[in-house]
């Protein structure tokens, strides 16, 4: 599955390109800047701290894996960046936006235009067709004309080899096929950031390889990809691996020697843990 044809379409017809900046208005030099984020929950067993003062910087065009054992805080971290959950304390800065300060309505609109989220269990709407599920974010954010929405959705479904199932309901396709639809939906508004929670966990090896190739192509086009995964082979394929344990980042590994060309802000002296 190649993203190059679709990338050309977006450059011609889609939103303005998301170009690197030396500094955003909130002082962050990287596209994603998580600053000493703590997330605590009250549970029936008592208080639980999922994130314990996490600092993380991710530059534009990086493809990053977030790995760790169950309960280490991986999904919570992704949810903070997406604005799905709010920090108990700390800051979440994404581009020009101070995400943790937005209202619920502002968050929904911001997320719809800036972040594509791929959930582990798909979360497709069961009463909409595959095509309608992919078009839904465009409708919600008033992106593109009605005719273009259909064309973009069909091109995305072709990219994930699901165009032939466009008019089926999600229940009529397999779990792996639903995951492919979820990936197409996440890309529907051409977001600069894609967050994926175990995106290959329900796919066979051939389909998983295609999905990984698509992520690599998207990163080459300038998209920023964060992938929560238990798959160590997948983690080796990305530019950088973040390892979480008990709510803290315990390691941050660069996997490619040419990494700096993807994140000019870091190579120009930004702090990076």
Across the range 34-52, mean pLDDT stands at 93
User: Are 123 and 179 a contacting pair, CB within 8 Å?
Assistant: no
251: left (phi over 0), alpha (psi -120 to 50) or beta: beta
> Is the pLDDT reported for residue 10 higher than 60?
no
Q: Please report the pLDDT score of residue 21 as a whole number.
A: 57
Residue from 235, 227, 154 nearest 196 by CA: 227
User: Are 107 and 92 a contacting pair, CB within 8 Å?
Assistant: no
Query: CA 17 to CA 20: how far, in whole Å?
Result: 10
Residue from 256, 222, 234 nearest 66 by CA: 234
> Is the pLDDT reported for residue 200 higher than 90?
no
Going by pLDDT thresholds of 50, 70 and 90, the confidence category of residue 261 is very low
Q: Please report the pLDDT score of residue 256 as a whole number.
A: 58
Residue from 199, 190, 216, 166 nearest 74 by CA: 199
> Is the pLDDT reported for residue 13 higher than 50?
no
Q: Please report the pLDDT score of residue 99 as a whole number.
A: 95
Across the range 2-21, mean pLDDT stands at 44
Residue from 43, 39, 20 nearest 96 by CA: 20
Q: What is the DSSP letter of 172?
A: G
63: left (phi over 0), alpha (psi -120 to 50) or beta: beta
* Longest CA pairwise span in the chain (Å): 53
Going from the N-terminus, what domains does the chain have, and what CATH number goes with each? 4-18+60-84+105-267 (3.40.50.300)
User: Are 92 and 99 a contacting pair, CB within 8 Å?
Assistant: yes
Does pTM top 0.75 for this prediction? yes
Q: What is the DSSP letter of 125?
A: -
Query: CA 242 to CA 249: how far, in whole Å?
Result: 7
Helix 146-159, helix 130-141: angle, nearest 10: 130
Across the range 35-48, mean pLDDT stands at 92
Strand partners, 167: none
Q: Which range (10-19, 69-78, 117-126) has the least confidence?
A: 10-19
Going by pLDDT thresholds of 50, 70 and 90, the confidence category of residue 222 is confident
Q: Please report the pLDDT score of residue 1 as a whole number.
A: 41
Q: Which range (6-15, 127-136, 252-261) has the least confidence?
A: 6-15
What per-residue string of b and e applies to 38-74 under the rule 16 or more CB within 10 Å gives b? Answer: ebeeeeeeeeebbbeebbbbbbbbbbbbbbbeeebbb
Highest mean pLDDT, choosing among 30-34, 196-200, 268-272: 30-34
SS3 category, 183: helix
pLDDT digits (tens, 9 = 90+) for 80-103: 999 999 999 999 999 999 999 999
Across the range 1-8, mean pLDDT stands at 43
Going by pLDDT thresholds of 50, 70 and 90, the confidence category of residue 272 is very low
Sheet holding 89-94, edge to edge: 46-58, 32-43, 89-94, 97-98
């Amino acid at each position: 599955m190649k993203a190059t044809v679709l990338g050309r379409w977006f450059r011609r017809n889609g939103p303005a390109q998301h170009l690197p900046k030396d500094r955003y208005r909130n002082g962050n030099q990287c596209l994603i800047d998580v600053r000493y984020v703590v997330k605590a929950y009250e549970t029936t067993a008592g208080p639980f701290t999922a994130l314990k003062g996490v600092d993380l910087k991710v530059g534009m065009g990086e493809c990053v894996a977030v790995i760790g054992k169950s309960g280490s805080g991986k999904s919570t971290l992704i949810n903070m960046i997406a604005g799905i959950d709010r920090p108990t304390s700390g800051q979440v800065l994404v581009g020009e936006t101070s995400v943790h300060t937005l209202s619920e309505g502002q968050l929904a609109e911001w997320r719809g235009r800036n972040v594509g989220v791929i959930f582990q269990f798909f979360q497709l709407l069961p009463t909409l067709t595959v095509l309608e599920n992919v078009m839904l974010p465009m409708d919600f954010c008033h992106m593109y004309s009605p005719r273009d929405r259909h064309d973009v959705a069909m091109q995305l479904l072709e990219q994930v080899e699901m165009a032939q199932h466009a008019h089926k309901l999600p229940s009529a396709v397999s779990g792996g096929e639903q995951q492919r639809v979820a990936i197409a939906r996440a890309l529907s508004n051409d977001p600069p950031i894609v967050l994926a929670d175990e995106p290959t966990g329900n796919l066979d090896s051939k389909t998983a390889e295609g999905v990984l190739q698509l992520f690599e192509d998207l990163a080459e086009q300038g998209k920023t990809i964060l992938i929560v995964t238990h798959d160590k082979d997948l983690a080796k394929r990305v530019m950088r691996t973040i390892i979480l344990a008990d709510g803290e980042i315990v390691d941050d590994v660069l996997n490619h020697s040419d990494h700096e060309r993807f994140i000019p802000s870091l190579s120009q002296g930004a702090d990076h843990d």
